[in-house]
């Protein structure tokens, strides 16, 4: 399964997958231990993989879109800049329940994080013969 999320020029967001049974009440810690496999942007330029202690990522450019690729059977969630398929980060784990796309546009604090995240339509091609 794969999809692309348009993140545009937002200054803060999370994108990834989550397991069906996550805790939806109280403070949510985005990490694999809590059922989230995601990457995040904070402060407009600080990219991180949402590991137990978040892992800082150094990207060459600010992606306008993030591609998420889930291979459930292989236990991988991979993130790419779809412009040139530059890898951003790959999680490797064992999944034991249903997973769903996870998107958080985060809070628009005093107008500093306007806009929405947008799931981009997929490109479908069929080859015959």
> Tens digit of pLDDT for each residue in 30-78?
999 999 999 999 999 999 999 999 999 999 999 999 999 999 999 999 9
CA-CA distance, 66 to 80, in Å (whole number)?
Answer: 6
The pair of three-digit structure tokens given for residue 83, joined into one six-digit string? 């412009």
The reply to whether the predicted model has a pTM over 0.85 is yes
CA-CA distance, 129 to 126, in Å (whole number)?
Answer: 10
Q: 33-69 burial string, b = 16+ CB within 10 Å, else e? A: eebbbbbbbeeeeebbbbeeebeeeeeeeebebbbbe
Contact 89, 79 (CB under 8 A): yes
């Amino acid at each position: 399964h794969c999809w692309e999320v348009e993140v545009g020029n937002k200054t803060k967001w999370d994108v990834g997958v989550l397991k069906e049974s996550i805790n939806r009440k109280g403070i949510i810690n985005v990490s694999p231990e809590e059922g989230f496999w995601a990457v995040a942007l904070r402060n407009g330029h600080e990219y991180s993989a949402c590991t137990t202690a978040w892992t800082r990522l150094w990207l060459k450019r600010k992606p306008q879109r993030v591609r998420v690729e889930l291979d459930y059977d292989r236990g991988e969630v991979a993130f790419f800049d779809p412009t040139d398929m530059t890898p951003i980060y790959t999680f490797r784990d064992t999944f034991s329940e249903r997973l769903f796309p996870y998107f958080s546009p985060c809070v628009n604090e005093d107008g500093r994080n306007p806009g929405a995240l947008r799931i981009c339509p997929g490109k479908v091609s069929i080859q015959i013969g």
